[in-house]
Amino acid sequence: MHSNHLLLEEPIRMASILEPSKAGFFPAMTKIVGTLGAKSRSVEVLSACLKAGMSVARFDFSLGDTKYHQETLENLKSAIKSTKKLCSVMLDTAGPELTVVNKSEKPISLEANATITLTPDEGQEASSEVFPINFGGLSKAVKKGDTIFIGQYLFTGSETTSVWLEVDQVKGDDIVCIVKNSATLTGSLFTLHAAQIHIDLPTLSDKDKKVISTWGVQNKIDFLSLSFTRHAEDVREAREFLSKLGDLSQTQIFAKIENEEGLKHFDDILQEADGIILSRGNLGIDLPPEKVFLFQKAAVYKCNMAGKPAVVTRVVDSMTDNLRPTRAEATDVANAVLDGTDAILLGAETLRGLYPIETISTVGKICAEAEKVFNQDLYFKRTVKFVGEPMSHLESIASSAVRAAIKVKASVIICFTSSGRAARLIAKYRPTMPVLSVVIPRLKTNQLKWSFTGAFEARQSLIVRGLFPMLADPRHPAESTNASNESVLKVALDHGKASGVVKSHDRVVICQKVGDASVVKIIELEG
């Protein structure tokens, strides 16, 4: 994977671009989050998605009820069993989402320059003259000249399925708007987004809390995607809520930045959250188009330096209906990888798209190509400089392991960890080879029963670039002194050989704790 490592900064022989790429065991180091829905919930399709490279399954609770999502999850579990490929679960909250209900479900056509009234009177029927909305406070938040977007698939950027309104006047609770573009809206529910306007609704709604405390607890979700995160306090409140729900105290919170408010408080949110989702769909409405790239590059850089996963959305929208992405989209995916993104999140493309498996496969191939020209050396130096001196003990060990692995051209870094922190720190330095995170389960008790930790930690590394987990057998010692004894290291190496990551005579860098000390060692495998 790393032997043919080029740099874009070096001269590339143009003809070499046409040479077919060698397939690695892992589709890519960059992870793929797939949103599951109508077109991606059968065991057959899910098995193919896992094989194509999906490692995180996202369940979007803006659509579908708990029963629907439970059926999908049961199918996912069957697919995991049959493919033997790990996959983690992300619950995406609805958050303070503003909607228009079209009870008749008849298509509604709007003409440019016409007027339409938005009213909180939900008893009214949606028509080309009036839209009932689910939030009574909007009239107090907007003023003449403000922009409001409405559409079934609002954030695809398609002007034929979304409408742009300009506030003309506020009459009590009603808002009279001028229609700026002609469009036909279809379906029973339209999403509404008021650009750059504070919506006075809680980030975790009562509906979200109910879903988390029932479906989330029942399924021990690995990640909570917190929609419309606007302040660090939102993350703290969500964490406090999760901490009271038993196993969910270990669930990681990914803050979804999707409006101007979240952007302004980004640094504080990053400190509190376990990872960040750059929701370019919504944000692309609040930000001028020419500023979106700047936010992405700055946000990904900040996440990289903090060692927290950065997830980018809205990359191959056109694959919702087409087998191939546009050239711009293919370049966009590659640029996200070169920026340092950990994972690419697919929404409509896998949820209702016609080609969920092909989309995952295509994105994986683009990521793998971009990883080959990722300037690891420059990235490494920048990260070390950012961390500064004196380095913490763990940070020093992690950076040394990566530097050693690159110098000796190791084929893999094996890291023994119980919390997963050491493996994440190694991945933070973006080694050119995969990091096999061997999670050693720990025994814990609540005075009533014994249980092992480890499953959460293993699954949560499935969103970190370059990190591939393996859950060790707690009966095996991490290192054996007796040659006949089956050590975890031997098991890990055997796993590496079976999966094609490690071959005879390869060098492997191992990072583990021996007593109180952390040790980095290099071993050369026998023939």
Task: Check whether 480 has a pLDDT greater than 50.
Answer: no
**Bridge partners (DSSP) listed for residue 452:** 443
Listed as own residue / partner, the contacts of 395-402 with beta carbons closer than 8 Å and 24 or more positions apart are 395/425, 397/422, 397/425, 397/511, 397/518, 397/520, 398/422, 398/425, 398/426, 398/428, 398/429, 398/511, 399/429, 400/520, 401/426, 401/509, 401/511, 401/520, 402/426, 402/429, 402/430, 402/431
pLDDT digits (tens, 9 = 90+) for 386-432: 998 898 888 999 999 999 999 999 999 999 887 788 899 999 999 99
3-state secondary structure of 185: strand
Task: Check whether 172 has a pLDDT greater than 60.
Answer: yes
Q: How confident is the model at residue 169 (pLDDT cuts 50, 70, 90)?
A: very high
Task: Check whether 484 has a pLDDT greater than 50.
Answer: no
Lowest-pLDDT range of 1-10, 62-71, 434-443: 1-10
Q: What is the pLDDT of residue 3?
A: 42
Burial of 332 (0-12, 13-18, 19+ CB in 10 A): buried
The distance of Cα 434 from the centroid of its chain, to the nearest Å, equals 19
- Percentage of the chain with pLDDT > 90? 57
Q: Are 458 and 471 in contact (CB under 8 A)?
A: yes
pTM: 0.91
- For the chain, give the mean pLDDT: 88
Task: Check whether 478 has a pLDDT greater than 70.
Answer: no
pLDDT digits (tens, 9 = 90+) for 7-35: 666 677 787 777 777 766 677 999 999 99
Q: Are 195 and 98 in contact (CB under 8 A)?
A: no
State the Cα–Cα distance between residues 146 and 133, nearest whole angstrom: 17
Kindly list the structural domains of the chain, giving each domain's residue range(s) and its CATH number in brackets, ordered by start. 24-95+203-372 (3.20.20.60), 98-195 (2.40.33.10), 376-525 (3.40.1380.20)
Q: What is the pLDDT of residue 304?
A: 96
pLDDT digits (tens, 9 = 90+) for 425-467: 999 999 999 999 888 776 666 666 666 667 788 899 999 999 9
State the Cα–Cα distance between residues 403 and 431, nearest whole angstrom: 8
pLDDT digits (tens, 9 = 90+) for 335-379: 999 999 999 999 989 998 999 999 999 999 999 999 998 999 899
State the Cα–Cα distance between residues 315 and 472, nearest whole angstrom: 35
Q: How confident is the model at residue 215 (pLDDT cuts 50, 70, 90)?
A: very high
Q: What is the pLDDT of residue 105?
A: 84
